[in-house]
Chains A and B, each alone.
Chain A
């Protein structure tokens, strides 16, 4: 059974988005997603300063099985990336919600987060898969 913490929101494309105290949004992929992908072997990160729109492809995670696009859950500017993933992409498998974060966005409008699923809604979605 995958783990789905209720402190954050989820996109139906399996990213999580955590609104932090400074108003930025941290993004990664769900436990369910990393389980489906299998062992992660490469992460293509976005660039700091890059402007992204909600739903834009801005990163790619590759597992032993397949490449998967990561879509930005909100519109804004990338203000941090997890450079550790370049050498240890498996952090996403081991710790999808903590060490395996992928990037941080300074959002234009945090109300975009309301369009995402809460933990319960996301869990219902993944149970149907």
Chain B
């Protein structure tokens, strides 16, 4: 039985093409996925992301708990509402999930974790909570709408209840504000400015329709995927999973090694891996020949050694095919990709292709 978000009927009214996404019946596109993609880069679009899991961590030891749980350090969060991206690791440093943690105060934090990993995440959060004075409170009655694009703030602020619009207009990137059950983070998964808005489920359809009325275009998970790929943002389950650690997933920057005395789950395994010398690295690829890069295609280096594309696709902004790949560290500036038995030429680049509407790579 697939699960439905509270906006399911609204998507069907808009003739969305629905697919099963990790057990959820979600819109993949409403019309042209490429148009949806361009709208977010150039103007403003919205996504129903209510399938994502919101979990509050409350208690006197909330900070200590999260400092032990996460590879990034919540002690960096000192300003109320500030957000941090982190991996949650196994003892072997495999990535259980990636998440965003918002700082409400030293005893209260909010996590947003992936939908497809919900069950194991909650189990892990609860297991690790045994030794701390904290409560893990999932918030299944919150809907979440991501409004993304250069015009997102302009469109959203006037529609927020009470004085929340005024606060939302003021918050800095990667920060949040809230009022009652409404919670607005200036975060996203597209490489554009915008908000992720959590709100009570029974308010979601009304808010969605207000956004439609002011011209915010509904966008599906298809565009969400091409946008995040262009932004060089990893997708859990494709670019990383429990068999991979952050060092080989392009996420070394999310590990807080300082202060040295902080222990966190997976730290020793990460230190061991570092000492052995990490053999794989995470890169971006641009296909120079015609075709489309896809996940699981083989990357062939000049010396014959091989890597693998973790996610790939067509970049509507660049009108080229791009990919993220895990490859041997000695990769040069170019490589070949095996596409249906033919070797095609690709260029190796930093895995950040488009940000704030602008292409970051020389074409």
Residue numbers of A with Cβ under 8 A of B are 35, 38-39, 41-42, 44, 60, 62, 64-65, 67, 86, 93
Contacts and interface: CB of A to CB of B under 8 A. Distances in A.
Nearest to A60: B340
B181 to A, nearest CB: 35
Contact of B292 (A35, A67, A93): A67
A85 to B, nearest CB: 11
A102 B321 CA distance: 22
A65 B222 contact: yes
Contact of A39 (B34, B290, B291): B34
Nearest to A41: B314
B33 A64 contact: yes
A42 B340 CA distance: 14
A86 B340 CA distance: 18
Interface of B: 17, 28-29, 32-34, 222, 226, 290-292, 294, 313-314, 316, 321, 340
Contact of A62 (B28, B29, B222, B292): B292
Contacts of B34: 39, 64
20 contacts: A38-B17, A38-B28, A38-B29, A41-B292, A41-B321, A42-B291, A42-B292, A42-B314, A42-B321, A44-B340, A62-B291, A62-B292, A62-B314, A64-B33, A64-B34, A64-B313, A65-B33, A67-B292, A86-B290, A93-B32
Contacts of A65: 28, 33, 222
Contact of A64 (B222, B291, B340): B222
Contacts of B340: 44, 60
Most chain B CB neighbours (cut-off 10 Å) among A42, A60, A65: A65
Contacts of A67: 292, 294
A91 to B, nearest CB: 14
Contacts of B291: 42, 44, 62
Contacts of B33: 38-39, 64-65
Contacts of B222: 38, 64-65
A96 to B, nearest CB: 15
A11 B292 CA distance: 26
A86 B291 CA distance: 10
A64 B290 contact: no
Nearest to B340: A60
B11 to A, nearest CB: 16
Contacts of A86: 290
B294 A64 contact: no
Most chain B CB neighbours (cut-off 10 Å) among A35, A62, A64, A86: A64
Nearest to B316: A64
A93 B31 CA distance: 11
Most chain B CB neighbours (cut-off 10 Å) among A35, A39, A62, A93: A39
B119 to A, nearest CB: 27
Contacts of A39: 32-34
Contacts of A62: 291-292, 314
Contacts of B29: 38
Q: Which 7 A-B pairs have the closest CB atoms?
A: A41-B314, A62-B292, A39-B34, A64-B33, A42-B292, A38-B33, A39-B33
Contacts of B226: 64
A101 B288 CA distance: 26
Nearest to A36: B17
Contacts of B321: 41-42
Contacts of A93: 32
A39 B316 CA distance: 10
A39 B32 CA distance: 6
